[in-house]
């Protein structure tokens, strides 16, 4: 029974960053912009959060205060949003290939934080550990970061925004038929900018969860493909908030199971570590042809 409980809570912890990132990608792709840069946005957000908290601690002589990790979270969300703005400018204003723009951001996310780490900590792989982490919430026999609770509560909120508000109707119209939406008075460009920046904010929050919620420092490439798994969850979930929830729980379970199996003799270690990615490939192979994306996704809009 203890193993089941541990696996359950581990699934929640592993699913949370995937869920936050997928919901961010949902806004972007529902507006018609492919956001393959989610992986890079997570890394930039994680680095910003951990470094901000560490710099505050250094400046205050190791002060421990409840507000410090929240400033780090704000920094992660802000940097994620700024990276989203870069992707939006390249994809919307300059009509660059959205895949190429996203790939460039992902590559930059592997190099740019290392430069900052070298300047601040004289190494290119990790920041210093922080004392002020995001608080945990007790849930019976275990506890989870407050951002885990936030991620799951965000699902019905996103559903309501997308399907029950005029803004959500406009967003979906922009992703399906931007020309028709424009004739009805919808500012297609503004909607797409807003959606892509919002996707960056949520991915940045996911990164902050990794560096100051789940762990207590930034580690180079610590997202370990979470942005790409989140994209797979978006496809598997058919661009719907509750579908995304189910998909991220499935992938989170695969990651949690891989952690539980590590150190055992059931499967070779390499196969255990590859389980989440094997599941991702199987899901994409089985569902990518049957999931219908927004009709205008990936297509630049010329007003």
Residue 5, number of CB atoms within 10 A of its CB? 12
Per-domain boundaries in the chain: 2-284
> One digit per residue, pLDDT tens: the chain, 303 residues?
788 888 999 999 999 999 999 999 999 999 999 999 999 999 999 999 999 999 999 999 988 899 999 999 999 999 999 999 999 999 999 999 999 999 999 999 999 999 999 999 999 999 999 999 999 999 888 899 999 999 999 999 999 999 999 999 999 999 999 999 999 999 999 999 999 999 999 999 999 999 999 999 999 999 988 999 999 899 889 999 999 999 999 889 988 888 777 755 666 666 766 777 777 777 666 655 566 889 889 888 877
CATH of 2-284, picked from 1.10.3470, 1.20.120, 3.40.50, 3.40.1350, is: 1.10.3470
**Whole-number Cα distances in Å, 152 to 20, 22, 33, 175:** 8, 12, 24, 25
**Whole-number Cα distances in Å, 41 to 50, 174, 179, 196:** 14, 23, 30, 11
Q: Which tokens in the block code for residue 164?
A: 């029950």
Q: Which tokens in the block code for residue 52?
A: 């901000």
Candidates 193, 200, 194; CA nearest to 94 is 193
Q: Which residues contact 159 (CB under 8 A, 6 or more apart)?
A: 240, 241, 242
Q: What is the dihedral of CA 180, 184, 189, 192, to 10 degrees?
A: -80
- Which residue matches tokens 């929830």? 245
């Amino acid at each position: 029974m203890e193993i089941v409980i541990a696996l359950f809570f581990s699934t929640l912890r592993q699913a949370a960053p995937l869920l936050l990132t997928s919901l961010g990608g949902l806004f972007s792709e529902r507006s018609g912009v492919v956001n393959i840069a989610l992986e890079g946005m997570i890394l930039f957000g994680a680095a910003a959060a951990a470094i901000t908290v560490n710099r505050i601690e250094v400046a205050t002589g190791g002060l421990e205060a409840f507000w410090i990790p929240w400033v780090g979270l704000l920094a992660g969300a802000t940097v994620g949003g700024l990276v989203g703005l870069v992707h939006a400018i390249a994809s919307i204003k300059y009509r660059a290939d959205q895949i190429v723009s996203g790939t460039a951001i992902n590559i930059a996310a592997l190099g740019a934080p290392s430069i900052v780490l070298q300047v601040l900590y004289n190494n290119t792989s990790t920041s210093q550990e922080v004392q002020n982490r995001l608080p945990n919430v007790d849930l019976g026999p275990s506890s989870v970061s407050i951002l885990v609770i936030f991620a799951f509560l965000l699902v019905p909120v996103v559903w309501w925004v997308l399907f029950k508000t005029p803004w959500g109707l406009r967003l979906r119209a922009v992703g399906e038929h931007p020309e028709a939406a424009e004739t009805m008075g919808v500012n297609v460009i503004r909607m797409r900018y807003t959606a892509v920046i919002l996707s960056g904010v949520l991915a940045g929050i996911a990164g902050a969860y990794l560096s100051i919620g789940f762990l207590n420092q930034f580690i180079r490439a610590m997202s370990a493909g979470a942005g790409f798994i989140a994209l797979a969850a978006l496809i598997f979930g058919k661009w719907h908030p509750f579908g995304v929830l189910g998909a991220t729980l499935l992938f989170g379970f695969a990651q949690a199971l891989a952690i539980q199996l590590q150190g055992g003799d059931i499967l070779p270690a390499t196969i255990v570590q590859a389980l989440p990615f094997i599941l991702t490939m199987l899901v994409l192979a089985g569902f990518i042809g049957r999931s219908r994306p927004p009709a205008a996704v990936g297509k630049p809009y010329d007003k």
